[in-house]
């Protein structure tokens, strides 16, 4: 049984990206830059943004943060995004979600230039991914899941049966599309799926993106299967402290599966590493445009 080390894989990816960033700077004088827009002061979002900014700078990219008040209007936020779209020194734009309730998230995502949409949530990028267009800006967490699966099982995933639990636009659907591109047989399951344990037992690979702590049980997993746990759930322990657990009953599943990602230290670290990768791709695209 292998514990898939997302922390190490993410570190290796960041090191590789740092070399590419330095090369881009010396060859073309371009330093990739990411701007994170945050509305309000949600503590969890603040931690995520701080991590993103730190890791962006650590690999030699430019990172800036725009903080807007929680009561900022949608039109002010859209104007800010328009300005960033037109600013050629900004390669990647990320609006930290969730946004306050008075702001329509989908309108905000739609306002981001698809070529700067490093989260990969814009409908143009979802469409590109759906069409199998390799130029798509792919959402970071699904990208991280696939990198971990490929690293563990080797490059060729042809014919593997993957059961994805969850059909969200940010994890379930895009990870299913990516695995389809890898020639997997993909089953997407969700809250209305019947006989979920039985469906899961058929899988060579299970990707759990449900948002329910320790939801996937040991007897749902075929012996030797690979389990990718996307979930991040904060639960209270017996002594009143908080801890993070995934969507998989890790201690039980670990007994029979072939490989599993831990929480924390599995998919989580890959998400930011893939955000950096997308920022580099966005910057590279501006260089190829210049040289055409
Ligand atoms: P979501 O709430 O948008 O979607 C959850 C999905 O689970 C839905 O499609 C729903 O149909 C399905 N579901 C709910 N109850 C179910 C049930 N009983 N049986 C089968 N399916 C069921 O959540 P999301 O944004 O996709 O995130 C899922 C989890 O992944 C959360 O724990 C979230 O915190 C975590 N997450 C982690 C990262 C990361 O970087 N590691 C990134 C994004 C999300």
Q: Residue 292's pLDDT is what?
A: 57
Q: Is 173 a catalytic residue?
A: no
Kind and range of the H or E run holding 233: strand 233-236
Peptide bond into 262 cis (omega under 30): no
Q: How far is CA 38 from the centre of its chain?
A: 18
Q: Is 133 a catalytic residue?
A: no
Q: How buried is 25 (Cβ within 10 angstroms: 0-12 exposed, 13-18 middle, 19+ buried)?
A: middle
pLDDT level of residue 5 (50, 70, 90 thresholds):
very high
Q: How far is the CA of 169 from the centre of ligand 1 (A)?
A: 10
* Structure tokens belonging to residue 41: 């002061």
Q: How far is CA 149 from the centre of its chain?
A: 14
Domains and CATH numbers, the chain: 29-114 (3.40.50.10860), 140-268 (3.40.50.720)
Q: What is the ipTM of this complex?
A: 0.99
Is residue 272 a known part of a binding site? no
Assessment of whether the complete model's pTM goes beyond 0.95: yes
How many Å apart are CA 96 and CA 44, to the nearest integer? 11
Considering the chain, what percentage of its residues have pLDDT values greater than 90?
96
Q: Is 96 a catalytic residue?
A: yes
Q: How far is the CA of 24 from the centre of ligand 1 (A)?
A: 37
Residue to substitute in 165, 191, 193, 220 for testing ligand 1 pocket (most ligand atoms within 8 angstroms of CB): 191
Q: Is the CB of 2 under 6 A from ligand 1?
A: no
Measuring from atom 42 of ligand 1, which residue has the nearest CA? 141
Q: Is the CB of 261 under 6 A from ligand 1?
A: no
Contacts of 126 (CB under 8 A, 6+ apart): 120, 169, 173, 174
Q: How far is the CA of 208 from the centre of ligand 1 (A)?
A: 8
Write the DSSP symbol of residue 114. Answer: G
Q: Mean pLDDT over all residues of the chain?
A: 96
Q: How far is the CA of 244 from the centre of ligand 1 (A)?
A: 15
List the one residue out of 279, 166, 284 whose CA is nearest residue 230.
166
Is residue 166 a known part of a binding site? yes
Question: Which residue in the list 5, 55, 80, 96 is annotated as catalytic?
Answer: 96
* Range in 132-136, 149-153, 187-191, 237-241 with the lowest mean pLDDT: 132-136
Do residues 28 and 289 lie in contact, with contact meaning Cβ atoms separated by under 8 Å? no
Torsion of CA 234, 236, 237, 241, to 10 degrees: 90
pLDDT level of residue 140 (50, 70, 90 thresholds):
very high
Rounded average pLDDT over 195-200: 98
């Amino acid at each position: 049984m292998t514990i898939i080390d997302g922390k190490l894989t993410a570190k290796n990816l960041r090191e590789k990206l740092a070399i590419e960033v330095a090369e881009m700077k010396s060859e073309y004088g371009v330093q990739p830059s990411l701007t994170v827009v945050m509305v309000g002061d949600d503590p969890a979002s603040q931690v995520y943004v701080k991590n993103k900014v730190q890791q962006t700078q650590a690999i030699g990219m430019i990172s800036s943060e725009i903080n807007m008040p929680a009561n900022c209007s949608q039109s002010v936020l859209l104007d800010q995004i328009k300005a960033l779209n037109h600013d050629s020194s900004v390669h990647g734009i990320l609006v930290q979600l969730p946004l306050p309730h008075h702001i329509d998230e989908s309108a905000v995502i739609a306002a981001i230039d698809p070529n700067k949409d490093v989260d990969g949530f814009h409908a143009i990028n979802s469409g590109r991914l759906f069409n199998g267009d390799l130029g798509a800006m792919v959402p970071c967490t699904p990208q991280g899941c696939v990198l971990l699966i490929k690293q563990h099982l080797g490059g060729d995933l042809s014919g593997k049966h993957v059961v994805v639990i969850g059909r969200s636009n940010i994890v379930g659907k895009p990870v299913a599309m990516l695995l389809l591109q890898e020639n997997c047989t993909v089953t997407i399951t969700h809250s209305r799926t019947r006989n979920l344990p039985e469906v899961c037992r058929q899988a060579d690979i299970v990707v759990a993106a449900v948002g329910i702590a320790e939801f996937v049980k040991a007897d749902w997993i075929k012996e030797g299967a690979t389990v990718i746990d996307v979930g991040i759930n904060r639960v209270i322990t017996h002594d009143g402290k908080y801890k993070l657990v995934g969507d998989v009953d890790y201690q039980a599943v670990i007994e029979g599966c072939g490989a599993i990602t831990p929480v924390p230290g599995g998919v989580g670290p890959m998400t930011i590493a893939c955000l950096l990768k997308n920022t580099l791709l966005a910057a590279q695209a501006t260089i190829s445009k210049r040289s055409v």
